Amino acid sequence: MNWLKSHKEAREDLQHWNIENMGDPDENYDRWYNASPYFFLDRVNTPLQLICGANDPRCPAVKSLDARDKLVELGKEVQLFLYADECHSF
């Protein structure tokens, strides 16, 4: 949801993958920002469903929880399904 925040909190191997695919976040800030749906949640105009695994190392559930909270704050209709025993691909 937020590539800039996720990158800072990611494991080193995942940070390497991020940089290989999107360049350095400081040098390519606009690319990272524009690739982050979190910054555009105000544009959501239909109900949204978020699905995540609680044990996902690549896309930690906290990112979906942050998005859900932001959507609620914006008055958007959102439903979150958090699967306690799942990882990245389930």
Q: What tokens does 59 get?
A: 């896309």
Domain ranges within the chain, ordered by starting residue = 3-83
Task: Report yes or no: 67 and 50 within 8 Å, Cβ to Cβ.
Answer: yes
Long-range contacts, stretch 67-70, CB < 8 angstroms, 24+ apart: 67/1, 67/37, 67/38, 67/41, 70/38, 70/41
59 secondary structure, DSSP code: S
Residue 90 has pLDDT above 80, yes or no: no
pLDDT, tens only, 73-88: 999 999 999 999 999 8
pLDDT of residue 59: 87
Q: What tokens does 84 get?
A: 């306690």
pLDDT, tens only, 25-75: 999 999 999 999 999 999 999 999 999 999 998 888 999 999 999 999 999
Residue 1 has pLDDT above 80, yes or no: yes
